[in-house]
Structure 1
Amino acid sequence: MCQQPDAPASDAVGAHMAPPPGKEPKLDAGNKHHDHYAQNLPRWRNALRNRLIPIVRWETPWLALLQDKVRSPALDSYFAYTANLGTHTFYMVFLPILFWCGYTSIGRATVFMLAAGVYGTGFLKDMLCLPRPLSPPLARISMSGSAALEYGFPSSHSANVVSVAFYAIYMLRQSAEQDNSSWNLGLQCFFYFFALSIVAGRLYCGMHGFLDVIVGSIMGALITAVQLVYGDWIDSWIFSGSCMDIFIATLVICVLVRVHPEPADDCPCYDDSVSFSGVVIGINLGAWHYAQTAYALKDAYPSSVPFDLQEMGLFKATLRILLGVVVIFVWRATMKPALFTILPPIFRLLEQARWNMPRAFFLNASRYKSIKPFDDDDNLIPPASELPHMLKNLAHPRKRSVSVGPQSAADAYETLAYRNRRRRESINSLDGGVPEDGLWSPSSPTLDPPNAEKGEPLLGTRLLPTPMASRVHSYEQMMGTGKVVQPDDDKNATTTTTPPHSDTDVAGDVYPPLSHTPTEEENEKREIFMKLTKPRVRYDVEVVTKLIVYTGIAYIAVAGNPLLFEWVGLGMASHV
């Protein structure tokens, strides 16, 4: 779980360092300033962030209005369930099957597009550190415990699903001339619906804003275009047979991993980027190797695995898929603990020689003696022990978590920053001054605050006195309240943030006091951050471990398992 930084001592946020393993982390609330990002980001990155933050704040009440208008128990279940179809895990489970069933070109294209989407969105997320739309007023509906811990902009789900859907639609249209059937048209309609459903679900579930899904979708479409234009050239380069080409491709990916921006909070976006980088390295190495063997099809796409369902039979095909999955999980289960034992002494030597490349939020090897087992480090392929729980959740889609309130450090910082902004606006409104953060800030068409006649501070006069404007205004007042209601997942509890249809203040103390003593401010910050789940310690060896493990997983998927299938009698090379 990722909320508070574990920066090196030399870093500007040294006060946020993780404690030694075994000791309870101590919250230093005094360092949780509303201008946290101005202090911990380079000036140019913070300037970009300041240009986009007003958009996130502006769209939040409109998203809450949308959620309120259309939300129902049936849609909660549908969008929470289908969100799993846009996750990295879903694609990582089904991608190897494409390779084992002979769809090599589609499998490679999908891997490259997903890797580009995960890396590209993760790069922008960590560079800009933009929060998700505030909760409250939004309720966040999710079956994933890690999704809310990432930054919001742009949406990885949107980039993934649009790239895959557009590629599938393009391939279907290419084959429509030979297969001009209702099936072809039906599949095209399905992929359009699939993409729209996932993108709309991110808005409905309160996980993303309009800006997030629009930019994410545009990135997905551009990634598809690049794959269609340059994909064949990249594959011909990889399959050229030159070891130097493979080395250059691997080196480029490692450089991309290194130049990934360091965020201001402990966000897991980087972990996913590293994992998918390993996947790309692995499928290139594996495909290049398998293409050189006598088992690969010679008159087909390079490194294609021989497969014919009618000749092989359903039972044999299912058996080899199960065997391939088991081999992948065995590799993951054995290599991760082995690397956690082997790598720390090597990293300590590199650290002594000053050859290490420390990264914020990752504990240097000199600061720990051993790594305790943990299973919450992977958003791509979960440990085998988690599969029964995941299948149970998929079998019961209504078992979802509906959360209200800050869930991550980014949420908490934005809550504090929004509170501070409203206080300044209130003071400046009374004094006739101009707000300190005078950047462009779109305002919603709302009414004057309902309690203005009671002498409470005003946030500024708005126009368009309509019922919709009144509702949007009520959601504005809920922003920054930071009131956390976390239901018990085991009891399937749900929470609603739908305010009553009235002109009264529905969010409690929506106008924070204008004057705060330092003690009151620290208590306010402490109250918010103490409600967040404390992050686990993250170790420097995890980056290399993920690269090796996922390189191995991809290599096994495209080369190791196909060779194993032939050796155990589940292959078809001898029949081709």
Structure 2
Amino acid sequence: MFGINSKYDLITFQASGFFLAVCLCVYSVPLLTLAVRKRFRAPLTQSVLNGLKTVQHIQNFRCLPLDVYFEGISTTVTTEFYVTLLPALFWAGESKLASQLVCLMSLCVHIGNAAKDTFCAPRPIQTPGKTVQLVSNVSKGPQGALEYGFPSTHTLNSLCMSGYILHHSSVAGWTSPDAATWFPFALVLWVLQIGFSRLYLGMHTFIDLIGGFILGWIILAFWGSIEGFITHWTYDAAKTSFPWLQILFLVVLPLAYPTPLEPTPSRKFVWNFSFSCIGVILGNYTNRQHLATPILPELMRLDSATCAHSPTSEPSRLVLPGTSPEVMCLKMLGKWLHLKHAYPATSACVRDVALDGLIPADV
């Protein structure tokens, strides 16, 4: 019933059950949450107060161009950014990478937001006197409620995402020596700018960034130890039987969450990403016959100058031109992702709309 078809599935089942039990014990028992909050909230709040002068000094250099720039940088670790990037990876044929990133970011969002609502440490703008300005209103939740500050989930999420992408690229192999140099540098620069933007925008102090970095490295290390399980559980096993166990796990997991002092929108993000994981797993199951054929690398083979429907009695087939805006954008995406399975251009390729597959054109 639950898709346990091998000894490896049984080990995965036991590991997931153990992890879920730990989460339930830690976050669902109020006494544990209250004990942790009572021990750490006061020193964390004092650290936030001590870091206000640094944030004020940074905000002395405020100007409109910097406001726009750092707000834009901060937006690259938002739901809108994930909705744009992760589906593009599926289109690029990197379904395993995309599945892993969705699950990893779901774990980061869950642990990061649960930590926020456990410690309940204030943001700089929530301190008495409000000596720090809020540059952006992006982080405001329903009815003007704000999340708590420690740890910085922007820092945590950007570190984990960039770290895993870098790990994946290194294992897969770099397409060129230049890519092996500038791509890691670009990711490190992006993470550092994300952290600095949170100071500039008045959303965090250094203690929040440090907490995000430490928790991010812990999650990356933990993820590295279970990566094989996750790949098998969300990708390989989902192609062989209906993923009852995976869906049940992802529905129950968000229930393991602490109760904050004041209502926050943090838990909503946990539910959103948990159901995103369910969507990915169901997508892997329903499209299991097409996962082995990347869409983008096939489209990169197109080099036709015209777009025409094939006048046959078979289901509608559309010849996609290699010079169309859609294909050119996908080609650029493939080069940016350094896909090793990108193919040289050929004459043409025909998309069978009914079968959602790609076959060579009879030209």
In 1, Cα distance between the equivalents of 2:91 and 2:182? Answer: 26
| 1:210–1:574 Cα change, 3 Å | same
1:181 to 1:55, Cα distance in 2 relative to 1, 3 A: same
Query: Separation in 1 of the partners of 2:137 and 2:250?
Result: 31
Q: Residues 132-151 of structure 1: CA distance to partner in whole angstroms, max 9, x if unpaired?
A: 01362111111515267111
Distance apart, 1:229 and its partner CA: 3.3
Among 296, 303, 306, the residue aligned to 2:291:
296
Contact 1:49 1:130 in 2 (8 A): yes
Q: In 1, Cα distance between the equivalents of 2:169 and 2:278?
A: 28
**Equivalent position to 1:90, from 65, 81, 86:** 81
Contact kept in structure 1, 2:100 and 2:231, CA below 8 Å: no
- d(CA) in 1 for partners of 2:112, 2:151: 6
Deviation at 1:175, TM superposition (A): 5.2
Other-structure match for 2:5 = none
**Alignment-derived partner of residue 310 in structure 1:** 300
> How big is each residue's C-alpha offset from its partner over 1:217-267, in whole Å with a ceiling of 9 and x where there is no partner?
2222333333333223222234235647x2222222222211211222121
Q: Which residue of 2 aligns with 1:61?
A: 53
- Aligned residue for 2:287, secondary structure, equals helix
Report what 2:253 is aligned to.
256
Q: Deviations over 1:320-366 (max 9, x none)?
A: 99xxxxxxxxxxxxxxxxxxxxxxxxxxxxxxxxxxxxxxxxxxxxx
d(CA) in 2 for partners of 1:207, 1:255 = 31
**Residue correspondence of structure 1 range 427-438 to structure 2 within 5 A:** none
**Residue type of the alignment partner of 1:146:** K
CA distance in 2, matches of 1:265, 1:274: 18
Structure 1 residue 182 displacement after superposition: 1.8
Name the counterpart of 1:229.
225
**1:36-56 CA distances to partner (integer Å, 9 max, x unpaired)?**
xxxxx8455334322322212
Which residue number corresponds to residue 159 of structure 2? Answer: 162
Asked if the contact 1:164–1:224 (Cα under 8 Å) also holds between the matched residues in 2, the reply is: no
> Normalized against structure 2, the TM-score is what?
0.69
SS of the residue 2:74 aligns to: helix
Name the CA distance, whole Å, in 2 between partners of 1:215 and 1:207: 14
Partner of residue 473, structure 1: none
The structure showing larger relative contact order (alpha-carbon pairs under 8 Å, at least 6 residues apart) is 1
Shift in CA distance, 575/235, structure 1 to aligned 2, threshold 3 Å: farther
CA distance in 2, matches of 1:261, 1:319: 47
Supply the distance in 2 between the matched residues of 1:222 and 1:172 (Cα, whole angstroms). Answer: 20
1:163, 1:221 within 8 Å by CA — same for their partners in 2?
Answer: yes
- The TM-score with structure 1 as length reference comes to 0.45
1:212 correspondence with 2:208: yes
Determine if the alignment matches structure 1 residue 101 to structure 2 residue 92.
Answer: yes
Cα displacement string for residues 380-420 of structure 1 (whole angstroms, at most 9, x for unaligned residues): xxxxxxxxxxxxxxxxxxxxxxxxxxxxxxxxxxxxxxxxx
Displacement of 1:316 in angstroms is 7.9
Instruction: For 1:81 and 1:222, locate their aligned partners in 2 and report how far apart those are by CA, in whole Å.
Output: 27
Cα gap change, 1:319/1:269 in structure 2, threshold over 3 Å: closer, same or farther?
Answer: farther
Q: 1:152 to 1:145 in 2, by over 3 A?
A: closer
Following the alignment from structure 1 to structure 2, what is the Cα–Cα distance between the partners of residues 180 and 307?
18
Alpha-carbon contact 1:98-1:106 (below 8 Å) kept: yes
The residue correspondences of 1:532-571 to structure 2 (distance < 5 A) are 568=353, 571=356
The 1:572/1:227 distance shift into structure 2, 3 A limit, reads: farther
Structure 2 segments unaligned to the other structure (5+ residues): 1-32, 303-321, 331-349
Cα distance in 2 between the residues matched to 1:258 and 1:57: 33
1:51 is aligned, of 43, 54, 58, to 43
- C-alpha distance in 2 between matches for 1:232 and 1:308: 28
SS of the residue aligned with 1:86? coil
When residues 261 and 210 of structure 1 are mapped into structure 2, their CA distance, relative to the original with a 3 A threshold, is: same
Distance (Å, rounded) in 2 between the aligned partners of 1:164 and 1:278: 19
**Corresponding pairs, count:** 283
For structure 1, which runs of at least 5 residues remain unmatched after alignment? 1-40, 322-564
**8 Å contact from structure 2 (residues 352, 358) kept in 1:** no
Residues 195-224 of structure 1: per-residue CA shift (max 9 Å, x gap): 111111111211111111111122223333
Structure 2 partner of 1:278: 275
- Other-structure match for 2:194: 198
How far residue 318 of structure 1 moved from its aligned partner, in angstroms, is: 5.5
1:173-212 deviations in Å (ceiling 9; x for gaps): 4456x53422331122111111111111111211111111
Amino acid at match of 2:161: V
Q: CA deviation at 1:107?
A: 0.8
The one-letter code matched in structure 2 to 1:138 is V
Aligned: 1:140 with 2:113: no
Equivalent positions of 1:357-506 (< 5 A) are none
Pairwise CA distance, 1:112: 1.6
How far does the alpha carbon of each residue in 1:106-126 deviate from its partner, in whole angstroms, 9 at most, with x for none?
211211221111111111112
What is the CA–CA distance in structure 1 between the aligned matches of 2:284 and 2:80, rounded to whole Å?
22
| Structure with more helix by fraction | 2
Q: 1:570, 1:220 → 2: CA distance?
A: 42
Question: Residue 185 of structure 1 aligns to a residue in which SS?
Answer: helix
Q: Are the aligned partners of 1:309 and 1:317 in contact in 2 as well (CA < 8 Å)?
A: no
CA RMSD of aligned residues (A): 3.1
1:111 lines up with 2:114 in the alignment: no
Query: How far apart in 1 are the matches of 2:164 and 2:46?
Result: 34
Partner deviation per Cα, 1:505-532 (whole Å, 9 max, x = no partner): xxxxxxxxxxxxxxxxxxxxxxxxxxxx
Structure 2 CA distance for aligned equivalents of residues 226 and 92 of structure 1: 25
Task: State the distance in 2 between where 1:229 and 1:42 align.
Answer: 30
Shift of residue 95, structure 1, vs aligned partner: 0.8
Kindly provide the amino acid, as one letter, of the partner of residue 286 in structure 1: G
Aligned-partner Cα distance in 2 for 1:275–1:51: 32
